[in-house]
């Protein structure tokens, strides 16, 4: 299994509070991603990073910000959580080379409930 | 934009073959993937195929790619109850020098004993 750790794994928070999810990797991969998974929508990309301090928006970035100050850590912040952000959040990594498959690997997920 | 589509549900009997289908729109896809997600877990890579290949076989899994029709399928032979899961199709391509991955909505496979 790829060395990806997400924390917290489960969190319940109140509407309007800030929340930060952390993704830590031990693979030294260049690319890191945050996805959310919702029924009927599959996986949707929130933000991604292609290096330290290099980030870009995905298809559902509104209400989220990210930071990557070290290769191994990628943080996802909900500045003011809303009920629509109740979801399962997955961190993923890839090395961004032309190695066979150029595979993306996933963490175990963080279940967030906003009440 | 790029899109990947899958049917939402598939039900098969134990021992039968399962075929999960996927269509995609991006003609510049480099690799196509199948991932498996069990309840409460992340996505695990099952197999992938390079876009210039037609078929790839790996034990009970057979991947077929029809690039002309942009159609990908995953066949699971001798399906077992442990194969019950959600299966995601995905494609990767480069855009502005960055690798991007597009996932389908997932197909929930239920294997009946």
Query: Position of tokens 């959040």?
Result: A89
- Give the phi and the psi of residue B16 in degrees, each rounded to 5: -80, 170
Q: What is the pLDDT of residue B18?
A: 97
Q: Residues B78-109: pLDDT tens digits?
A: 999 999 999 999 998 887 777 788 999 999 99
B111 Cα to chain A: minimum distance (Å): 20
Residue B8: closest C-alpha in chain A: A40
Show which residues on chain B lie within 8 Å of chain A, measured between beta carbons.
8, 30-31, 33, 35, 40-45, 48, 50, 88, 90, 92, 98-101, 103-106
Q: Given a cut of 70, is residue A109 above it in pLDDT? A: yes
Q: What own/partner pairs with CB < 8 Å and gap ≥ 24 does B67-70 have?
A: B69/B23, B70/B23, B70/B24, B70/B25, B70/B26, B70/B27
Rounded mean pLDDT of chain A?
93
- Cα(B83)–Cα(B105) distance, rounded to whole angstroms? 18
Distance CA A67, CA A26 (A): 17
B55-58: strand order across its sheet:
B4-6, B18-24, B71-76, B61-66, B55-58
In this complex, which of B45, B88, B98 lies closest to A42 when CB atoms are compared?
A: B88
> Residue B87: which H helix or E strand, with range?
strand B85-95
């Amino acid at each position: 299994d790829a060395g990806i750790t997400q924390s917290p794994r489960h969190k319940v928070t109140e509407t309007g509070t800030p929340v930060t999810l952390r993704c830590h990797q031990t693979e030294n991969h260049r690319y890191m991603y945050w996805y959310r998974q919702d029924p009927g929508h599959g996986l949707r990309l929130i933000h991604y990073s292609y290096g330290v301090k290099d980030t870009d928006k995905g298809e559902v970035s509104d209400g989220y910000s990210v930071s990557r100050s070290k290769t191994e850590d990628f943080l996802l912040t909900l500045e003011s959580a809303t009920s629509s952000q109740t979801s399962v959040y997955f961190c993923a990594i890839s090395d961004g080379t032309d190695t066979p498959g150029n595979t993306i690997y996933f963490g175990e997920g963080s279940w967030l409930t906003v009440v | 934009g790029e899109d990947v589509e899958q049917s939402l549900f598939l039900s098969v009997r134990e021992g039968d073959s399962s075929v999960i289908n996927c269509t995609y729109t991006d003609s510049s896809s480099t690799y196509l993937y199948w991932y498996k997600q069990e309840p409460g877990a992340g996505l695990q890579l099952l197999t992938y195929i390079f876009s210039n290949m037609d078929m790839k076989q790996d034990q009970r899994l057979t991947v077929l790619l029809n690039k002309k029709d942009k159609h990908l399928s995953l066949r699971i032979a001798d399906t077992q109850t442990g194969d019950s899961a959600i299966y995601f199709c995905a494609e990767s391509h480069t855009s502005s020098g960055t690798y991007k991955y597009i996932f389908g909505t997932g197909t929930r496979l239920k294997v009946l004993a």
